[in-house]
Each structure stands twice: as C-alpha cells, then as structure tokens.
C-alpha cells in the first residue's frame, strides 16, 4: 500500500507469507489497521519529517478482546521509544455494555458471552479530546455517554502509566 510521505504506514497487505504459512488478512483486520493509522496520523508531527516514512508494525500475540485499544497504546509507546515527534500521546480504552446494561472493561470471554456492544475510544493527552471512537453493537445514547466518561477516566490512568514509564527510563 503506497501512501503519501506524511502518513504513517501500517502493514496492510492482503496476504503475508511467514515461515511457509499464508496468513490471510480479514476485512476486520484492515478496518483495525485503518483505525490505528488514522489515530497515529493525528498525533505524529509529520511536517517535521518531510519525504519520510514512519512504519509501525503491530503483531498480535494474545487476543483478549481489547485488541484495537492495545494496538493503539503499543504503537504510541513504540513511537515514543523511537523518539518520533508527536503533538501529544494517545491512550485507547475498550468498554463493553452487557445485556443488563452494566458497563465493563471486557476481556475476550466477557465480550463473547455477555456484551451486546463494545466501544473503543482513543483520547489525546493534551486536552483529552476524542481522536477515535469505534463501536460494535447496539446501545443507547446515555450508555455511550457513560462509556465515554469511564473510558476517559481510564485513559488518564494510561497517561499516568506512560509518565511513570518515562520517568523510570531516564
């Protein structure tokens, strides 16, 4: 996939050959890749790197139901570790709504068994503005507002983790 120089490249080929195995990329994976790409494009200062390509490869090791949020958070950490200039940091959180209306931070089992909807939010660290909202399933508008509030509070914890990690690495 060829993109302009100011974009972040996420590996999005339809077929990847790896150690004699063919891994087919499903449409869900391509949607996830686009979500990651668009989120990172919001925070990377690409104007400081003209005619450059920033390549981020995310490899999923364990499926726990929060794959998109984990991928965005790990990509942000990778860019931070690589000293890529960014406008702000990003933190992503997945929240699930159960059949009884309870809102939880779901694992994969909880998503499959109990959740009727799951929502993934990504917030920036400067103003806690929503950069990404990805939803799956049906939910009420009031549930969306509650989910957004819970996700924002959890994002603040993730930003605290980033800060502590940076303090420990220096």
Q: Domain residue spans in the chain?
A: 8-169
Separation of alpha carbons 1 and 30, rounded Å: 12
Q: Which region among 73-87, 93-107, 113-127 has the lowest average model confidence (pLDDT)?
A: 93-107
| Banded model confidence at residue 127, pLDDT cuts 50, 70, 90 | very high
pLDDT above 50 for 100: yes
Please give the residue that has the higher pLDDT: either 168 or 128.
Answer: 128
Identity of the highest mean pLDDT range in 44-58, 83-97, 107-121: 83-97
Assign domain 8-169 to its CATH superfamily.
GHMP Kinase, N-terminal domain (3.30.230.70)
Query: Which residues sit opposite 135 in a β-bridge?
Result: 119
- What tokens does 80 get? 């931070």
- In this predicted model, what pLDDT tens digit does every residue of 56-72 receive, in sequence order? 888 877 766 678 898 99
Report the candidate in 95, 84, 75 with the shortest Cα–Cα distance to residue 137. Answer: 95
Separation of alpha carbons 79 and 56, rounded Å: 8
pTM to 2 decimal places: 0.81
- What tokens does 66 get? 């929060």
pLDDT at 145: 93
DSSP 50: T
Separation of alpha carbons 81 and 37, rounded Å: 18
Query: Which residues sit opposite 10 in a β-bridge?
Result: 56
The label of the residue with tokens 């939880």 reads: 104
pLDDT at 93: 93
pLDDT above 80 for 4: no
């Amino acid at each position: 996939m060829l993109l302009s120089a100011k974009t972040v490249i996420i590996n999005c080929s339809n077929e990847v050959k790896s150690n004699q195995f063919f891994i087919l990329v499903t449409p869900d994976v391509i949607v996830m890749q686009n979500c990651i790409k668009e989120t990172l494009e919001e925070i990377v200062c690409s104007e400081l790197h003209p005619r450059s390509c920033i390549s981020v490869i995310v490899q999923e090791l364990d499926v726990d139901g929060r794959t998109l949020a984990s991928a965005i958070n790990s990509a942000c950490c990778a860019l931070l570790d690589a000293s890529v200039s960014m406008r702000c940091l990003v933190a992503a959180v997945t929240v699930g709504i159960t059949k009884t209306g309870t809102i939880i931070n779901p694992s994969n089992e909880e998503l499959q068994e109990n959740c009727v909807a799951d929502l993934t939010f990504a917030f920036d660290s400067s103003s806690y503005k929503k950069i990404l909202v990805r939803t799956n399933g049906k939910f009420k508008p009031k549930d969306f507002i509650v989910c957004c509030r819970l996700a924002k509070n959890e994002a603040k914890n993730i930003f605290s983790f980033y800060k502590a990690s940076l303090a420990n690495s220096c």
